[in-house]
């Protein structure tokens, strides 16, 4: 099922764009994500795809993000994906506390496509080495996107925005439930 992401009111620009996300979970720890941005793509800075490789500080530019935690934990994981093919993964012990790179993770596939005013990013990854994500437990997710404009403005998109400023780490952002063997 597609989920519409909402633009945070404090965002600069991208008022006429739309962002959708689709997520599914398979075999306990496999995650499939599809993001779609529609609108005037000429206004946006979208890095060209180069190759799948680790990166850092990807949230400072156009970036697609997911935050995942289990039902029984305050610990969570953050995953960032750039249209360039760069990706990053971080583990947190609690709200913005104990951030560290998440080791041993690999993105199996990451593809981008642009046509007819639509940009799509699709990826598959296995979270079996992720921090505090048991394969047999329900996971809760926050899905978000940062769109950087060519004029330097940024817009912040998420399933929900529980605070006055964009904060994708906020515990009330984890609203998407993914059960152990049920795709969403």
3-178 under CATH 2.60.40.1190, yes or no: yes
Q: Is the pLDDT of residue 20 over 90?
A: yes
Structural tokens at position 74: 């305050």
Q: Which of 69, 42, 67, 72 is nearest to 147 (CA)?
A: 42
The predicted pLDDT at position 129 comes to: 86
Per-residue pLDDT tens digits for 106-132:
788 999 999 989 999 999 999 998 888
Per-residue pLDDT tens digits for 130-145:
888 999 999 999 999 9
Question: Average pLDDT over the chain, rounded to whole?
Answer: 93
Where along the chain do its domains lie? 3-178
The predicted pLDDT at position 183 comes to: 47
Question: Greatest CA span in the chain, whole angstroms?
Answer: 45
What is the average per-residue pLDDT within 77-87? 97
Is the Cα torsion angle 10, 54, 118, 30 positive or negative in sign? Answer: negative
**Which pTM was predicted?**
0.93
Is the pLDDT higher at 20 or at 26? 20
Per-residue pLDDT tens digits for 158-183:
999 999 999 999 999 999 999 986 54
């Amino acid at each position: 099922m597609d989920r519409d992401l909402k633009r945070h009111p404090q965002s600069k620009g991208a008022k006429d764009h739309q962002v959708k996300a689709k997520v599914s979970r398979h075999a306990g720890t496999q995650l499939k994500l599809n993001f779609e941005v529609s609108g005037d793509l000429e206004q946006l800075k979208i890095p060209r795809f180069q190759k799948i490789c680790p990166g850092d500080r990807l949230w400072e530019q156009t970036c697609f993000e997911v935050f995942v935690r289990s039902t029984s934990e305050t610990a969570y994981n953050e995953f960032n994906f750039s249209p360039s093919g760069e990706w990053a993964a971080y583990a947190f012990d609690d709200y913005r506390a104990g951030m560290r790179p998440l080791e041993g993770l690999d993105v199996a596939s990451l593809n981008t496509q642009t046509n007819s005013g639509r940009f799509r990013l699709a990826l598959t990854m296995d979270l079996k080495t992720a921090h505090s994500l048991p394969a047999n437990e329900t996971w809760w997710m926050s899905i978000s996107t940062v769109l950087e404009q060519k004029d330097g403005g940024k817009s912040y998109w998420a399933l929900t925005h529980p605070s006055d400023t964009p904060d994708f780490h906020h515990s009330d952002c984890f609203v998407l439930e993914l059960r152990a063997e049920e795709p969403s």
